[in-house]
Structure 1
Amino acid sequence: MSTPITVIRDRTQPMRHIVHVRNHILPADVSVEEGGLDAGPSPHDLYDAALSACKALTVLWYARRKHIPVEDVQVTTARDASEERHGVYRLATTLHLTGDLSAAQREELLGVATKCPVHKLMTSVTTEVTTALAEEAA
């Protein structure tokens, strides 16, 4: 099992929490309309960002390994959650590549982006989530 991720409430704000991932700290909040202060990305934003980051990192790693001259990678992800309650959550990603790349290299990198681990996790794997109560402190 990996190192646990811990989320702790920031009591200085109505809804904000602080996410601790290894030695990294990220804020999480909800919009003003949802009772927060929009002082950080929402959980949906973090989920979507995981996909974008995975695609960007995977493409850059692959390009470097294969000596493909990518200068920069940017991934834009747009969410359509209009049917989420009906079991459909749509994410549309756009891969922006810069560098002296041939059309074949660009297509190769597009294919690599669709194989990033988070993309596979979101589309090919059954995720099982369990939730338990911690022991109460004495």
Structure 2
Amino acid sequence: MTIKVVRDQSLPMRHILHVRNHIVSVDGTLPEGGNDAGPSPHDLYDAAVSACKALTVVWYAKRKNIPVEDVQVTTERDDSEERKGVYRLAATLHVSGPLTGEQREELLAVAQKCPVHKLMTAVTTEITTVLGQSE
């Protein structure tokens, strides 16, 4: 899969992110010199793990016939020590439906094992960047 980011020159920092048939505006925050015309890269990073947790819980609940009615994930960022090598995300899982305590704990365990959570914490990610031809 290819992800493409193209500059929108109508604003100082705004870019348009293309993922398959989806288009998302991304921008820097006001303090960074952007116009906050979309989520920042850090927002997208945090959102990726949040969305993964929610989707994983729904997928698992359907597979196991657990009567989940709604799933929401609220994530708080603490980037105060990012430059020291520590980036903290605190996710809170909200599930509703006629669930037992045991089912709630099972869903929490599943959320903690979502693929993006694992990717962010247990996998070495190798990134290469090369210079391409301007289009």
Mark yes or no: TM-score above 0.5: yes
Matched, 1:97 2:91: no
Q: Deviations over 1:16-54 (max 9, x none)?
A: 100000000011111112111100000000000000000
The AA in structure 1 aligned to 2:24 is L
User: Which residue, out of 123, 126, 130, partners 1:125?
Assistant: 123
CA–CA separation in structure 1 for the residues paired with 2:2 and 2:16 = 14
**TM-score w.r.t. length of structure 1:** 0.95
What corresponds to 2:68 in structure 1?
70
User: In the alignment, what sits opposite 1:56?
Assistant: 54
Of residues 65-74 and 30-39 in structure 1, the stretch that sits farther from structure 2 once superposed is 30-39
Query: Counterpart of 1:20?
Result: 18
Calculate the aligned-residue CA RMSD, in Å. Answer: 0.9
1:60-116 Cα distance to aligned partner (Å, 9 max, x none): 000011000000000011010011001100000000001000000000000000110
State the identity %: 71
> TM-score, normalised to structure 2's length?
0.98
Equivalenced residue count is 135
State the AA in 1 paired with 2:59: W
The whole-number CA distance in structure 2 between the counterparts of 1:113 and 1:78 is 16
Gaps in structure 1 of 5+ consecutive residues: none
Moved over 6 A (4+): none
Q: Distance in 2 between the 1:131 and 1:115 partners?
A: 29
Residue number among 110, 128, 132 corresponding to 1:112 in the alignment: 110
Partner of 1:88: 86
Determine the C-alpha separation between the residues in 2 that align with 1:100 and 1:110: 16
| 1:136 CA displacement | 4.8
